Structure 1
Amino acid sequence: METALIGEQVSNFLEPNLRQRRDAAAAAKKATLDKIRALANDPALEARRAEREAIVKARMAREAEREAAKKVREAELAAQAARDLELAKQAEAKAKAEEEQLKAELEAADAALKAEQKAARDRRYAERKAAKKERRKG
């Protein structure tokens, strides 16, 4: 009979009833909550949290500085591009003015050459006419 009691006790030990299971679950839940509360009040945890917040703030500050520096660089590049564009326009205008001046000088030189050639031609014509007239007089 003793063996039957031992088997029955083992059976109860292995298969607890509902109240025992509920009490065990409540105890486990209470232990977990106590552990979490203890961690929440832990000064080392608070120090780590503050350290992480400081790291995040420092990271955000560095990122803001990089963004500001990037905007300054972009503004400088835009200003340089505007200056380069203005210089290119001035150089183009100067080249165009020089080209027009050269063209005008060439046209003037060509006109002077043509006038000189015409004067020489007219002089030769006048000389031939005078010579012909002289020959006719005779």
Structure 2
Amino acid sequence: MSSTPLKAVITQEAPAPVGPYNQAVIAGGWLYCSGQIPLDPATGAMVGDGNVEAETRQVLRNLKAVLQEAGTDPSKVVRTTVFLVDLGDFQAVNAIYAEVFGDGVSPARACVQVAALPKGSKVEIDCIAWLN
């Protein structure tokens, strides 16, 4: 039985992990991206001051940077999970999300409300992308 080597994806254009995980992992032609919150990659500071639109834009910038480092882009994303502290923010987040994932075949997606997110974030998004 052959094993598929795993490869970590690391870029300075997205926030460094704050725990024992990678920004993303490549496995067998797939890219598994860790969830991104609205951290400025240069400073590690939260972006948006609690404004969900500004937070969502930063989250998507971070996610796109990881995709780019892995050699892909949002058009190859097949699945996302959107975590919101308040589902009342769904429409605002969805409008910005559509700017990135609205063309072509949009990814399959789950959107869930959670009790809290790291560093007081209002939104976190992860994804899985096809590399071929």
Q: Which has the higher contact order (CA 8 A, sep 6+)?
A: 2
Between structures 1 and 2, the one with greater strand share: 2
Whose helix proportion is higher, 1 or 2?
1
Q: TM-score, normalised by structure 2?
A: 0.16
- TM-score normalised to structure 1 length: 0.16
